[in-house]
Amino acid sequence: MSLYPVRYFIFKFKKIIPTGIIFYACLIMLGNTVAAQNVNSENILTEDTTVLSKKNQKLLVSQVDIKDLAKELFDIRHHLTLRIVEDSGFFVHPLSHPVLQSENAFLKPGKLLFAILPAVGYTLQTGTTAIVAMNLSFLKGNADSTNLSTITINPAMSLQYNQYFLNIISNVWSEKNKWDFLGDWRLYKYPTYTYGLGGHSTVNDADLIDYSFLRIYQNALKQIGASDFYTGFGYNLDYHFSISEQSDAIGTDFHLYNGNAQKTVSSGLSYNLLYDSRKNSNYGEDASYFNLSYRYNSKYMGSDQNWQSLYLDFRKYIKLSPHSDNVLAFWNLDWFTFGGNAPYFDLPSTGWDVYSNTGRGYIQSRLRGPGMLYFETEYRFKLTKNGLFGGVIFANAESVSEIATKRFETVLPGEGLGLRIKLNKISGANLSIDYGFGTSGSQGFFFNISEVF
């Protein structure tokens, strides 16, 4: 078995995170050891508990997640519940899709699949941050007729910037996918930098603003016939309060646009049209996703002023060959405000999409304007055959419109690569660790539970 891909991976990162790569390389070897020990067992159990002959064992590799690795490291006795998948024998091999067959013995209605990882990391906007990343996955009906529901909960605290966060993002499917309930709830204490409006801003325009933030988005969508289309309504609230500009600058874009407002409220109803053929939102494969959300903020519902927005989110996941599970993923997000002036913090901005993932390579809020165009592509593959470690390479481009002309005049590109660590082999939840590069020396780490999109 060749180790050339591992040496190449280490070479690409050794100038950035040498200590971390040595640690992850050790984990990769441990992960392979766990897999080897499982495969060499006298009997290997498939998901329907069939015992495989030794003749066929060489074609199969048991799938492993971080819980299996911890059990192996600390010699914890546990029952043998292995997912078995065919493998080509190559070291670099695509990530395996979580098996969601009707006869699956490990994924049943009502069974909660729990992935949790307390960690300390570093990001551009929060500095050194302590986080407890949690992913809850479950089925409300049989796996052959009901999509996997997910709830992501990420409480965090910056150890440098007096920032506190609580994100609860939910995508809950009813039995047989008759309803889809989408939620985005957030509570922030968030002193952070903003960089002005339009695409011509630079990092030298950084302006420190202190504020707190409450978001409540809740939508209920009904299936149209027996299709993958859904439509429905929701309520959207963005409440920013205790706003204060920390610098004494008078001519900043923030001061000119926001004035002396110490709070802003955007409250209104939304209409949503959704197409989603993914069976598992933790890891999309050979599927499509499209979401149109039209929002009308009204003074009658407590909004400071009337204004509207249109949010278009399209994703495509392609298996490159029937003989390979390699996934090429595309993401396009178009976001526009009109019909009034949206508050400064409610304008489309880098890293302020539903999952706060646009613009890897740039700090959150780097670009902001009345409209935003975003495109990203990502290639996903496996670093170990047992699925414990995977990798991605990605590239993106973003543009925001100018306040005066509404024209898109500039484009900021980004690119990078990342590591995936399997947190739960049944739900497919990964820990995503990416390093992104932008222009003018912009670069940094980006962390997520599950895939970026």
Q: What confidence score (pLDDT) does residue 14 get?
A: 40
* Burial 79-93, CB ≥16 within 10 A → b, else e: eeebbbbebeeebbb
Q: What confidence score (pLDDT) does residue 416 get?
A: 96
Amino acid at 388: L
The two structure tokens encoding residue 410 = 């500039």
Please name the residue ranges forming H helices in 249-308.
253-258
Task: Provide the domain limits for residue 273.
Answer: 4-449
Supply the pTM of this predicted model. Answer: 0.78
List of residues 6+ apart from 259 with CB closer than 8 A: none
Residue ranges, the chain, pLDDT below 70: 1-61, 72-107, 248-250
Q: What confidence score (pLDDT) does residue 158 get?
A: 92
List of residues 6+ apart from 399 with CB closer than 8 A: 199, 367, 372, 373, 374, 408, 409, 410, 411, 412
Q: Which of 301, 241, 305, 224 is nearest to 270 (CA)?
A: 301
**Orientation of helix 4-13 relative to helix 18-39, angle to 10°:** 160
Q: pLDDT (tens digit, 9 = 90+) per residue, 113-166? A: 888 878 787 778 888 889 888 889 899 988 888 998 999 998 999 988 889 999
Q: How far is 84 from 382, CA to CA, in rounded Å?
A: 16
Q: What confidence score (pLDDT) does residue 87 get?
A: 35
Q: How far is 289 from 151, CA to CA, in rounded Å?
A: 18
Identify the CATH number of the domain in which residue 350 sits. 2.40.160.50
Q: What confidence score (pLDDT) does residue 75 get?
A: 57
Question: What is the tally of structural domains in the chain?
Answer: 1
Q: How far is 373 from 353, CA to CA, in rounded Å?
A: 12
List of residues 6+ apart from 227 with CB closer than 8 A: none
